[in-house]
Amino acid sequence: MKFTVTRAQYRALEGLAHWCYQAARCDAEHDAEGSEQARQTLSTFPAQLDRLGIPYWVQNTVSAWAQDFRAEGNIRVAYLDQALRRRGIACEGV
């Protein structure tokens, strides 16, 4: 499947990536308070991403990439566009 991400969609996906990473990191470090904060913030994303017209499979791709921080090395939102392109998701005007 192919999808092109607009600038507004990309910014929302950056936020999703950040909070997915934070949740995974807090879980790995057994930081219950940080994990709870990250999960509460993450609960606001599905409706926002749906309103922006971002398909679920793109949301899931970003979430999986950000949570797999051990495999990807040091996850930084700056690398999100590269990760999306490797997975066949084009970034328009990013």
pLDDT at 60: 93
Which tens digit of pLDDT belongs to each residue from 22-52?
888 888 889 899 989 999 999 999 999 999 9
**Is the backbone of residue 53 left (phi > 0), alpha (psi -120 to 50) or beta?**
left
**Is the backbone of residue 89 left (phi > 0), alpha (psi -120 to 50) or beta?**
beta
Q: What is the pTM for the complete model shown?
A: 0.84
Which tens digit of pLDDT belongs to each residue from 37-94?
999 999 999 999 999 999 999 999 999 888 876 555 555 656 788 888 888 888 876 6
